[in-house]
Structure 1
């Protein structure tokens, strides 16, 4: 086949079919983008509700939709901290603000700048160092060090300007990049606004929009800089994301193939010789300098070859000019002579293979799939997941990811509200509803995203506020106000179980066992009517969906998340009177020594009671049937609690489930089994685990009885 005269066109079409099959198509690109924008919007609403002057921008392959399952691309998050007014011209100085002037001179590396501190009351430079984050250079300028905003981020390792959260299998790594925003377009990129290549791309309208996004200063210096602690990299990330969102499917597929080649042949064993950003830059230059008609499906292989030739030229010349800030050489100081020679040879070998190299790509089974498409092997020679199965897998992962993201953002809001009085809690919820109402009225894309995210977040806040009101009134007169019940009812559709379990726990706490039992029976029926996945954002872990779960995700919109996920139940301290006493212990899990082993940024929830939905459901059933003297139902609930703990791989709070099971065993007068469960709980989590208190109480009681 590789000897046929028209093999390049045929190879291009078959390659396009393979990429379509593995999810690199218009439909999935749009789905991936939608998913990441939901995550971004949820984060930013959370920041606004908690009065954090921060904006997240989700960047890179995940947000662009330029990835595949096998590439397992990182998630790049640019964390924009709005604590300074970064300016390029004195006219942009603002009275009373923390002003910094971007300086580019003979001392700064192209594409980088210094930040000179200015006075807040008059547009003049500061002449005295205000704190240890600044330094005076030889010219007498007070400059900001780039180390001042590098983290700290939870569970991260330093990685240049970013902090990388190390993902477990099935969870992508996250690059958190701290930065500050400048409203104006960088002066060093002004030439790009007028530059015009053969492809007449980007259009002038696109360039104007890109310029309106301004730029960022990222806390990192150049590898070849004499002042690595003082330089700030100028980033046009939002403009670049906008450009990537305007590529056609052939251009996107070309980029995906470049990354597969990069990972398979140029950066083996996770070495970082050539970055995917360099490949993206090469692609953008190629698009700019070729006719639009070049980028079509039947010419994909030729487009790929053209990009590889350009990449090889960049490597040989040690020069890859940033697409927008052309004077910034992305490859400056990147390679040794030996590495450059090896990379150039590997690229050359791949180009000269005239397509044969594609057959050796194992990512997403691309090589084997291509062999089947080209009829080089029989149709059944290999087993592959169908395009429909892959679509369902991607949607399943997306929906689980959204649910996890919500379950991580909601506690951040809880943490903020816990420090406030009830009136402030209510005002925050009204503020959230204002975001939602704005989305309903305006109906443009960003507002619709606000509406969707608020729809996911609001029920959790309603439920927690209602439960907090109920806890207050239970503490006073063991009754629940109608207002509390109204808020609890408004929050019932947060997910399939957690808010309903809170309502059931409220009724249990007031002694209304019949109402509580009715709610629990309804939850259990719903739980087994849908393919539900337990969700817990307290720990970093992979969440597994069943085949049936994937089917539902493939058929329905993200609205289905509320009835196919069961988020773990969290009770803040304000809700303590609505929490069974067995679970109240969890609010006091940490000794003074344990506190040392907690991350103050991520582990704040350990001061609350947190439990997975299904174990809590069966525990409440056990307690209620005990009160109602329905012994057989009580034992069935206990059996279900045990079975869930033993078989459900998705439980996040297994140690808590074992702790409440141990207390059930104590109530069953089975102390040895109770002790075994407490010890198993400690095996799950040795620190910050109230099991140690249960063990001490149990042994103390046994000794006293003897």
Structure 2
């Protein structure tokens, strides 16, 4: 539970730091965070170390995005840097790396990264988010269940999966569907309705790790022409989102529904796509919800098809 709280505080701290100083100089931000690492408070030191790793991940991703924006070849050094931060948590940095590789066209490499992640992403991995709190987040039974059935060596591996966050500075290594999350409002009036906490993350795209894993797999297998695997991961994605037993904890269910709806758009099944976009509007509200854009788009496509 201590590790969970450290990661949660790390994400919250990171969110504030990025929103206030990233535009000026991310190097300066990292240097400031390092000051905490020399604190006599071991808890602050742990949080600071994780924050630094996450900031390095953002730095690598932003540099990669700039590289892709300039249509330059993504260098091996940019990819190699990720090996130093992959163990920050189980999934988020691996998924950020996979997204960069996907946007740069290295589909075989993406498939390997995602398949390796899927092998270690067992059912007892706990999701962590710095934007949203869920009831039961600190239920001691959840942490006890995480321990059961695992040896000491197994439990030394990361047991938490942070949500994946994309900033506006990362647009060139962000899947297109998530760019709508960065412009989720239909009017300036909706922006004015955001509270302080909302303003900390609503201009970014934030997605739960597990549905994002399967969505990236869907995109990758689609690009590779591996239809059987593509349909399999679509089924897994749909099951994880729609499972009535709620075995998969989602902090951002509306984003997960958008990913699923987009998969059905790519399948040409516009009725199912609309169903999931409408479900997002129903369960998460119409204000500041990117599903409004998706519904408009799908309805326009259907009108064009029907003549």
User: Any residues of structure 2 matched to 1:428-447 within 5 Å, and which?
Assistant: 428-436=29-37, 438=38, 445-446=40-41
**Residues 125-156 of structure 1 deviation map (CA, whole Å, 9 limit, x = unaligned):** xxxxxxxxxxxxxxxxxxxxxxxxxxxxxxxx
**Residues 625-680 of structure 1 deviation map (CA, whole Å, 9 limit, x = unaligned):** 00000001101111111111123452011100101111110110111110100011
Cα 1:460–1:641 shift into 2, 3 Å: same
Q: CA deviation at 1:474?
A: 0.5
Matching residue of 1:532: 125
Q: Distance in 2 between matches of 1:485 and 1:431?
A: 25
1:694 paired to 2:302? no
Matching residue of 1:337: none
Q: Distance in 2 between matches of 1:646 and 1:655?
A: 12
1:652 paired to 2:251? yes
Matching residue of 1:403: 7
Q: Distance in 2 between matches of 1:617 and 1:650?
A: 14
Stretches of structure 2 that go unaligned for 5 or more consecutive residues are none
User: Any residues of structure 2 matched to 1:15-94 within 5 Å, and which?
Assistant: none
User: Any residues of structure 2 matched to 1:175-194 within 5 Å, and which?
Assistant: none
2:102 corresponds to which of 505, 508, 514: 508
Indicate the SS of the match to 1:428. Answer: helix
2:260 corresponds to which of 642, 657, 661: 661
User: Any residues of structure 2 matched to 1:95-174 within 5 Å, and which?
Assistant: none
Indicate the SS of the match to 1:650. Answer: coil
| Residue pair 2:6, 2:46 contacting (<8 A) in 1 also | no
Matching residue of 2:182: 587
| Residue pair 1:498, 1:569 contacting (<8 A) in 2 also | yes
Stretches of structure 1 that go unaligned for 5 or more consecutive residues are 1-395, 440-444
Q: Distance in 2 between matches of 1:650 and 1:633?
A: 24
User: Any residues of structure 2 matched to 1:598-613 within 5 Å, and which?
Assistant: 598-613=194-209
Q: CA deviation at 1:522?
A: 1.2
Q: CA deviation at 1:696?
A: 0.6
Matching residue of 1:259: none
| Residue pair 2:90, 2:161 contacting (<8 A) in 1 also | yes
User: Any residues of structure 2 matched to 1:365-380 within 5 Å, and which?
Assistant: none
User: Any residues of structure 2 matched to 1:279-678 within 5 Å, and which?
Assistant: 396=1, 398-420=2-24, 424-436=25-37, 438=38, 445-446=40-41, 448-528=42-122, 531-542=124-135, 543=137, 545=142, 547-551=144-148, 563-591=158-186, 592-647=188-243, 648-678=247-277
Q: CA deviation at 1:597?
A: 2.4
Q: CA deviation at 1:415?
A: 1.2
Indicate the SS of the match to 1:416. Answer: helix
Q: CA deviation at 1:553?
A: 10
**Residues 100-126 of structure 1 deviation map (CA, whole Å, 9 limit, x = unaligned):** xxxxxxxxxxxxxxxxxxxxxxxxxxx
**Residues 334-377 of structure 1 deviation map (CA, whole Å, 9 limit, x = unaligned):** xxxxxxxxxxxxxxxxxxxxxxxxxxxxxxxxxxxxxxxxxxxx
Q: CA deviation at 1:407?
A: 2.3
Q: Which of the pair is proportionally richer in strand?
A: 1
Q: CA deviation at 1:453?
A: 2.1
Q: CA deviation at 1:469?
A: 0.4
Indicate the SS of the match to 1:681. Answer: helix
CA RMSD of aligned residues (A): 2.4
Matching residue of 1:357: none
| Residue pair 2:10, 2:48 contacting (<8 A) in 1 also | no
**Residues 29-83 of structure 1 deviation map (CA, whole Å, 9 limit, x = unaligned):** xxxxxxxxxxxxxxxxxxxxxxxxxxxxxxxxxxxxxxxxxxxxxxxxxxxxxxx
Q: Distance in 2 between matches of 1:487 and 1:451?
A: 22
Q: Distance in 2 between matches of 1:570 and 1:612?
A: 9
Indicate the SS of the match to 2:206. Answer: strand
Using the size of structure 1 for normalisation, the TM-score is 0.40
| Residue pair 2:17, 2:29 contacting (<8 A) in 1 also | no
| Residue pair 2:6, 2:43 contacting (<8 A) in 1 also | no
Cα 1:450–1:408 shift into 2, 3 Å: closer
Q: CA deviation at 1:492?
A: 1.4
State the structure with bigger RCO (CA 8 A, min sep 6), 1 or 2.
2
Cα 1:553–1:456 shift into 2, 3 Å: farther
| Residue pair 2:7, 2:47 contacting (<8 A) in 1 also | no
| Residue pair 2:237, 2:260 contacting (<8 A) in 1 also | yes
Indicate the SS of the match to 1:605. Answer: coil
| Residue pair 2:6, 2:47 contacting (<8 A) in 1 also | no
Cα 1:417–1:500 shift into 2, 3 Å: farther
Q: Distance in 2 between matches of 1:409 and 1:553?
A: 31
Matching residue of 1:153: none
Q: CA deviation at 1:551?
A: 4.1
| Residue pair 1:535, 1:650 contacting (<8 A) in 2 also | no
Matching residue of 1:333: none
Q: CA deviation at 1:481?
A: 3.4
Q: CA deviation at 1:503?
A: 0.4
Q: Which of the pair is proportionally richer in helix?
A: 2
